[in-house]
């Protein structure tokens, strides 16, 4: 088995030096996002810490500690585990097909002891790591060739197909979008991009015609004409628009939301948490949350810009693209710009698997920030 050969590696930093290099601004921004989530979950439970607000805060505290610990690990371990992590995530997705737990008609979870895990969330980060590792070991002229597109295409396509079969269109979109973004940032030629766009368009049309489940087709029809079935398929999006519109400029006030408190708003703790926030805090509140997300993304992209190695640049860019897609898809969904696809709002929506994936992603960002000056090996070996 081949091993990496490192010509000029920065001396391993002591723990104290790594702690100094932690991007504490990013830590504060992530904490603000989680605090907003706790506040909204407390409100929609009629001013109660149970059943979700306290658990959301405790989870974030545990995952924050995990993030800081993983940020201090030698970055070469992240590289060494990139391909194995992808393989494990793919096996977990296959496991969902065999022994997965079905909830509300979708088979997306695995019960591992007391933990219920959604492997698709793990795959988002594993794919980022694996693609960043792959392109880090390729010269630019090889990375842009069609021949070297076969493996990345398989790495993106296989999990997408498994996730679509669960079925989970929203997560499949995020996985595909993140993968394509990393391939593009790796230096893909416009000739290949054009060919891929044409094939993607053909595949997309074919999927819309032949691949959609009945409930997904109903969601698209509801998206186009929600008023046709206001008490059935169109209920979610119509109630979401009513709640957001009723918030006005400054909202109805904290703990004062009527649509969410009277249970007119569906899935208010997960997919439609942004709507609950908008009803109570209005346009000013939702705009403030968007500004917070922009600051998180800007801070992350600055880390990518300053990294000396392509692994760091591509990995951080992949994490930021995934995070941005979470936000874009969720908000577009609840305001009626796209069909409802079941994508949560990061840091704010209730859910352990999503928060864990987001925080490990930012652990990678933090790790690369700490090791941004390290000269990493460029071989294609699996181990250091």
Show the CA angle centred on residue 79, arms to residues 75 and 355, nearest 5°.
80
Three-state SS string across 201-242, please?
Answer: HHHHHHHHHHHCCHHHHHHHHHHHCHHHCCCCCCHHHHHHHH
> Angle of helix 150-164 relative to helix 82-99, nearest 10 degrees?
30
Q: Are 66 and 358 in contact (CB under 8 A)?
A: no
* Three-class secondary structure of residue 316 per DSSP: helix
pTM of this structure: 0.87
Res. 249: pLDDT tops 70: yes
pLDDT at 167: 80
| Weakest mean pLDDT among 237-246, 276-285, 361-370 | 237-246
Res. 70: pLDDT tops 90: yes
Res. 144: pLDDT tops 70: no
* Three-class secondary structure of residue 108 per DSSP: strand
In tens, the pLDDT along 293-302 reads 999 999 999 9
- What is the longest distance spanned by two Cα atoms in the chain? 66
In tens, the pLDDT along 2-60 reads 344 333 444 567 788 888 889 999 999 999 999 999 999 999 998 899 889 999 999 99
Where residue 379 falls among pLDDT bands split at 50, 70, 90? low
9, 31, 254, 316, 320 from 302: Cα distances, Å: 23, 19, 34, 9, 11
Q: What is the sign, positive or negative, of the torsion defined by CA atoms of 87, 314, 348, 106?
A: negative
Q: Are 348 and 36 in contact (CB under 8 A)?
A: yes
Report the DSSP beta bridge partners of residue 110.
Answer: 117
pLDDT at 229: 66
Range 108-129 average pLDDT: 86
């Amino acid at each position: 088995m081949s091993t990496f050969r490192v010509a000029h590696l920065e001396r391993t930093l002591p723990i104290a030096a790594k702690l100094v290099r932690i991007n504490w601004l990013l830590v504060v921004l992530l904490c603000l996002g989680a605090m907003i989530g706790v506040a909204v979950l407390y409100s929609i439970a009629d001013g109660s810490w149970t059943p979700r607000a306290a658990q959301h805060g405790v989870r974030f505290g545990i995952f924050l500690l995990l993030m800081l610990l993983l940020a201090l690990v030698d970055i070469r371990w992240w590289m060494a585990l990139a391909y194995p992590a992808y393989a494990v995530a793919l096996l977990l997705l296959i496991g969902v097909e065999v022994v997965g737990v079905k909830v509300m008609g979708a088979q997306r979870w695995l019960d591992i002891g007391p933990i219920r895990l959604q492997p698709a969330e793990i795959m988002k980060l594993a794919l980022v790591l694996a693609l960043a590792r792959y392109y880090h070991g390729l010269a630019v002229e090889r990375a842009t060739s069609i021949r070297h597109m076969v493996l990345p295409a398989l790495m993106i396509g296989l999990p997408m197909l498994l996730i679509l079969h669960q079925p989970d269109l929203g997560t499949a979109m995020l996985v595909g979008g993140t993968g394509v973004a990393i391939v593009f940032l790796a230096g893909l030629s416009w000739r290949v991009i054009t060919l891929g766009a044409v094939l993607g368009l053909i595949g997309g049309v074919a999927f819309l015609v032949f691949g959609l489940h009945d409930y997904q087709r109903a969601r698209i029809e509801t998206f186009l004409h929600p008023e046709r079935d206001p008490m059935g398929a169109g209920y979610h999006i119509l109630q979401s628009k009513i709640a957001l519109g009723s918030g006005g400029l400054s909202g109805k006030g904290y703990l004062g939301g009527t649509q969410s408190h009277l249970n007119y708003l569906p899935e208010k703790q997960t997919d439609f948490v942004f709507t609950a926030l908008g009803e109570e805090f209005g346009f000013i509140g939702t705009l403030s949350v968007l500004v917070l997300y922009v600051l998180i993304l800007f801070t992350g992209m600055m880390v990518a810009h300053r990294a000396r190695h392509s692994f760091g640049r591509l990995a951080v860019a992949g994490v930021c693209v995934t995070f941005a897609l979470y936000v874009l898809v969720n908000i577009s969904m609840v305001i009626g710009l796209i069909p409802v696809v079941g994508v949560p709002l990061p840091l704010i929506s209730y859910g352990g698997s999503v928060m864990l994936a987001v925080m490990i992603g930012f652990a990678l960002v933090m790790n690369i920030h700490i090791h941004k000056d390290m000269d990493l090996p460029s071989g294609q070996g699996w181990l250091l």
